[in-house]
A and B are shown apart, each in its own frame.
Chain A
Amino acid sequence: MAEAIKLETPLGAREIERLRIGDKVLLNGEIYTGRDAAHKRLVEQLQRGEPLPFPLEGAVIYYVGPAPAKPGMAIGPAGPTTSYRMDPYTPALLEQGLKGMIGKGNRGKEVREALKRHKAVYFISTGGAAALVAERIKRAELVAYEDLGPEAVQRLIVADFPVIVANDIYGGDIYEEGKKRYRKEPVL
């Protein structure tokens, strides 16, 4: 398989244009955690015209609610959560310049259209391999919504954080492609 592409955050349009579904990417720099409850708050703040707790321009959001860190560790196990639950909030964030999301599982049609329109990508990471990926997270600090516990927004510093491009700006979808390729008819 082709070698992994190294990328630094924040992401720019030129880097996004290069990416195709199935590409292995190693992310470096800052990414932000955010899942259900944090997304709800971010979008409510946008609707009220309030400033957001972190800049969305070029940003990558990781759909994760980490487990608590053991003493001496930067973060606890921190694998991706299922992404479709964030679909209702995603187009509004893409409009504000969000360039990448990391999660697992497929996205709805509206999100996929919005990715094309706003030139952004959806990455995936292996679900349930949380102790493994946590080793690539070097630092974690609280940014906002502390009261949400594991759902608070944190800034993570990652080094060669491994992800795969699942939806690109050309309308590709890794899950549809994969299933088509390995399906055996008749299934039943």
Chain B
Amino acid sequence: MRKIKASELIGPVKQALQEINFDTPAETMESLRRAWKTEVSEAGRGVLEDIVKNREIAAKKRLAMCQDTGMAVIFVELGQEVHIEGPIEEALNEAVRQAYEEGYLRKSVVADPLFDRKNTRDNTPAIVHFRLVPGEQLKLIVAAKGAGSENMSTVKMLTPAAGVAGLKRAVVEFVEQAGPNPCPPIVVGLGIGGDLELAALLAKRALMRKMGQRNPDPRYAKLEEELLEAINRTGVGPQGLGGINTAMDVRIEYFPTHIAELPLAINIDCHLHRHKEIVI
């Protein structure tokens, strides 16, 4: 059995949280540049130019790309043959604390959601999802999710009768209604099937895939492409100012469901698209 001290996670997770706020992976930059080049609306091109320039400044000056440096969302895939010594969630929260304090990242978490809404002042706690998998590996996907796009997300319990056509309509209508709020050009994560909470989790997991990485099932891959095209026909455009680049990508994750259900979760991510995978 492999042993890992929980405290060994602090350094790598902290570094990942800062990197996703400062740096742009090559494939995201490529998508943004492509959008800038293909955009037909002048206002839309102006926005994309701002976005690209901003990323260059952020990377060079080690500054956050956006003032909303998000709530940390961490997916932990723990190999069953690994023994973690010490409290793992505490270590992850310590990583968040150090990353946000030392990286001049904004602390955007309130302790109580409804009553006093007092800021926790260190951006903790992180939202952590655990999954046990076979093997000796520990994999973490570290993300920073801003409120602008998270607020433009939903779960709809469709009926099986809605079918492919009804599902497509629901997605496109929802994205169009979100309009400028989630900071387009967006990435759309869809969770289809499972139940209420699994659909939402699948939608978020879909956002953690690589830009342009299609679902391995060709039917879902085709659906991703068709939805991307339809969303880009709505005219919403970069920052909602009109144009042909509303979304950079649409990704679907699915799971078996009940004979009477067709859950659909829509989780929108803004153009920042901050996440990174680390293997320990």
> Which A residues are within 8 Å of any B CB, using their own CB?
1, 22, 37, 64-70, 76-79, 81-82, 84, 104-106, 124, 126-132, 134-135, 148-151, 164, 174-175, 177-188
Contacts and interface: CB of A to CB of B under 8 A. Distances in A.
A64 B108 CA distance: 12
B179 A1 contact: no
B79 interface: no
B69 interface: yes
Given A22-B43, A104-B239, A187-B172, A131 B65 contact: yes
Interface in B53-69: 53-54, 57-58, 61, 63-69
Contact of A183 (B57, B233, B239): B233
A187 B230 CA distance: 5
Contacts of B50: 126, 129, 132
Contact residues on B (Cβ < 8 Å of other chain), bracket: 35 or more
Contact of A67 (B41, B44, B67, B237): B67
**SS class, residues of chain B in contact with chain A:** loop
Contacts of B61: 131
B270 A132 contact: no
B169 interface: yes
B54 A131 contact: yes
10 contacts: A104-B180, A126-B50, A127-B270, A131-B65, A135-B57, A148-B119, A150-B107, A164-B43, A183-B235, A187-B230
Nearest to B69: A67
Given A65-B67, A179-B179, 13 more contacts: A68-B104, A69-B104, A70-B104, A81-B67, A82-B181, A84-B181, A106-B181, A131-B65, A178-B43, A178-B240, A179-B236, A182-B237, A187-B176
A177 B67 contact: no
Contact of B51 (A22, A77, A124, A126): A126
B207 to A, nearest CB: 16
Interface string B33-57: 0000000111110010011011001
Interface string B151-194: 10000000000000000110010001001110100000000000
A35 B61 CA distance: 27
B272 interface: yes
B54 A132 contact: yes
A178 B44 CA distance: 9
